[in-house]
Every structure is written in C-alpha cells, then in structure tokens.
Structure 1
Amino acid sequence: MLQLVLLLLLLPAVVPLFCYTCVFPTIAPLQCIGFPLQCPEGQVCLSSTAVGQEGDFRVMINERSCILRSLCSVSGEKHIMGLNFTFTNDCCDSHLCNGAAVPAAPYWLATVLTLLASYTFK
C-alpha cells in the first residue's frame, strides 16, 4: 500500500497536452505534415485555416500547433506571400485533437518547399 501511495505522489500533477504541429503551414490541397508536440502549460491545440483571394486566384493555408487559450476562436486578417488572408483559429483541448492529416507525397513536399523558398528569398 505504501508503494502505491509513493507512486501516486511521483506522478505529475498536470498531464501535459500533446497537439499536432505542422512542419510548415501547407497550401491546399496539400496536407499538413504534422508531428506530435508537447504544448507549454496553459496552451491548447490549434487548427487554423487562412484563405487568400486575388481575383479568381484563391489559396488556402492550413496550420496546426499549440496556442494560448485567449487566441482561440479569433478571426482576422494577415498578409502572406503578397496576398491578404482571412483566418480563423479553432481550438480543442484533448490529446492530438487538432488532427493532422496523412503526410503529403514527397513530390508535393518538394513543390511546397520550392514555392515557400521563392517567396521567402525575394
């Protein structure tokens, strides 16, 4: 009985939350290449989608990570790659609840990295 009490005392008081985090944000129809990451205390899981449109050209960027609870359900605008995007933050607070999709095919990864590099190093 004493061993059980000692074991319970050694367990952490707060169980850490794990969320999927994208290696980098992805442009639809590509899927997030995600991996589980332990969130800092007080943060929850984020799944965010940003939509940018210029005429008939429309781009969706998907992102997953950990975020402060105060930033949940926030919508707004941000400027990325020369486009104005509207975004919405959706949060959840159970393990891996922000559901990273199946990793994209390797040739898609190369395409996205090339696109991101061309905009980053201009």
Structure 2
Amino acid sequence: MSRSQLVIVLLCCLPLAACLHCYTCLFPAISPLDCFKFPQECPAGQRCLSSVAIGRRGSLQVTMYEKSCAIPSQCDVSGQKYASGLYFNYTNICCDTDLCNGAVSVAALSWWRAALCLLPALTLLLA
C-alpha cells in the first residue's frame, strides 16, 4: 500500500469522531418509558448523557429522566438544581459510543451510522 493510499484510509476514519449520535428526550420525563427519545447527531467533542434527578417535598417524590448530548464538563457529576418548585439531586452519566445512552442495545445501528459517516470520505477515494 502506497503512502498516499494509507493517508486516504486514515483520513476516512476521521469523520467518525464527529458523528457521535445520542438519544435526546423531547421533554424531561417522570418515567424512563415516558422519554420520547430520538437520535441526534452531537457537535464534535460532546458525549452522550443520561441524567436522573430526584426531587422531594414532604412525602412527595418526583424523579426526572433526561437524555441528551453534553459537553464533557457536564459528565460524571452530581449536584442539586431547582426546577418546577422543587430542589432536585441529580446524577449525570456519560458515554462515548453511538446511542449508548438508550436502554436498548443498538450495535448494528451504530455500525450503519459509522458507514454513513464514512460515505463522504469514500466518495473522495473513488473519485
């Protein structure tokens, strides 16, 4: 394999870093099943986030579930936030593979998305 072919093959792999897809909830949900999630392409450098926040007032407990893309500083942190008249204790967990913040394994779909990311580079290779 010549050097130019090797460079082209390596360049074909670069778009994968910018093509991370994560689930995003349309609205924060009070049940993991209520999260109307859809795949979204994240900006470069972001990760997939799953967040659980628990708020209490007296005997009332509300749990909120969120999924989204996140900047690294939002990842793997816990804290408190105020929303809907309650203070919530939250925990954010992040991951780095396609659709990893969903409940269902989608390894085959991840391979398909990786192939789509490579398509522009492959057209340059074949041209």
Instruction: Count how many residue pairs are aligned between Structure 1 and Structure 2.
Output: 99
Q: Which runs of 5+ in 1 are unaligned?
A: 102-122
TM-score (norm 2): 0.69
Contact 2:32/2:65, CA 8 A, preserved across alignment: no
Q: Which runs of 5+ in 2 are unaligned?
A: 105-127
TM-score (norm 1): 0.71
Q: In structure 2, what is the equivalent of residue 111 of structure 1?
A: none
> Larger deviation: 41-50 or 12-21?
12-21
Contact 1:46/1:89, CA 8 A, preserved across alignment: yes
Aligned counterparts of 1:26 and 1:56: Cα–Cα separation in 2: 20
Aligned counterparts of 1:29 and 1:66: Cα–Cα separation in 2: 17
Aligned sequence identity (%): 51
Q: Which runs of at least 4 in structure 1 moved beyond 2 Å after TM superposition?
A: 5-12, 28-31
Aligned counterparts of 1:48 and 1:59: Cα–Cα separation in 2: 14
Aligned counterparts of 2:31 and 2:58: Cα–Cα separation in 1: 18
Aligned counterparts of 1:97 and 1:90: Cα–Cα separation in 2: 11
Matched, 1:93 2:109: no
Which structure is higher in strand share? 1
Q: CA deviation at 1:87?
A: 0.4
Provide Cα deviations, 1:63-82, integer angstroms capped at 9, x if missing partner.
00000112211111111110
Q: In structure 1, what is the equivalent of residue 121 of structure 2?
A: none
Matched, 1:71 2:42: no
Aligned counterparts of 1:7 and 1:33: Cα–Cα separation in 2: 40
2:44 maps to a residue whose letter is E
Contact 1:64/1:100, CA 8 A, preserved across alignment: no
Which structure is higher in helix share? 2
